[in-house]
Amino acid sequence: MDIISVLESVLFVASKPLAINKIAKSLEVEKEKIEEALNSLENKYTAVSGIHLLRSGDDVQLVSNPDNTEFVEKFVKTEFKEDLTKAQLETLTVVAYRGPISRPEIENIRGVNCSIILRNLLIRGLVNETETKDQIVPVYEISVDALRFLGISGVEELPDYISLHSSDLLNSDEKEEDSSNT
């Protein structure tokens, strides 16, 4: 196992500050090994890199380079003035019908990386992110604002919610198996 690569992936997927002790426990690696890997990542993400490793006490997070704030803000403002894209609507639908659901589970269903889409949905207030005690990776649920916008009081009121919430048809692995068996 390449601990540097694993740590970088975990920090990227989490997209929020993580306690070093929690990372070590989750990955079943000594804290000292995590510290060494963090030092390597700090060297990788230099001042000219668009990504930085931010440390605050015992918490670490991958963040955008502060020198790029003006450009990132322009991009975000432009991005959120537009209607939801097809990909955002698909992701929101998966969250609504299968939530609480983690980003890797969403990506398994959709077959594509959903990190930016989820960030956009979070910023727009359409989904909520919560972290469970047992997992590093947060889970997502549709927000009260999104429910209000849809004119419903709960996800159970979505069309065919009961059958789709528990249906295995939304799992891409099983869709692939079904299509290969025919």
pLDDT tens by residue, 155-173 = 888 888 888 887 665 554 4
HSE (CB half, 13 Å, CA atoms) of 141?
10
Q: What is the structure's pLDDT at 79?
A: 58
pLDDT digit string, tens, across residues 48-94: 889 889 898 889 998 888 888 888 877 766 655 567 889 998 999 99
Q: What is the pLDDT of residues 110-148, one digit of tens each?
A: 999 888 899 889 888 889 988 766 667 889 999 988 888
Instruction: Report the topology of domain 3-66.
Output: Arc Repressor Mutant, subunit A (1.10.10)
Backbone angles phi, psi at 125, to 5 degrees: 80, 20
Query: Which pLDDT band, with edges at 50, 70 and 90, does 6 fall under?
Result: very high
Architecture in CATH of 83-180? Orthogonal Bundle (1.10)
CB of 66 within 8 A of CB of 52?
A: yes
Beta-carbon contacts of 162 under 8 Å, excluding residues fewer than 6 positions away, are 156
Q: What is the pLDDT of residue 180?
A: 43
Domain boundaries of the chain, sorted by first residue: 3-66, 83-180
Neighbours of 99 (CB within 10 A): 19
What is the DSSP track for 57-100?
TTEEEEEE-GGGHHHHHHHHHHHHHSPPPHHHHHHHHHHHHH-S
Exposure of 148 by Cβ count < 10 A (0-12 exposed, 13-18 middle, 19+ buried)?
A: exposed
DSSP H stretches of helix in the chain: 3-14, 20-27, 31-44, 69-81, 86-98, 103-110, 115-123, 144-150, 161-165, 172-180
pLDDT in tens, 16-60: 788 999 999 989 999 999 999 999 999 898 878 898 898 988 899
Cβ contacts of 39 within 8 Å, gap of 6 or more: none
% of the chain residues with pLDDT over 90: 27
Is the whole-model pTM more than 0.75?
no
Q: Say which residue the tokens 């980003």 belong to.
A: 103
Angstrom distance (rounded) from CA 89 to CA 109: 14
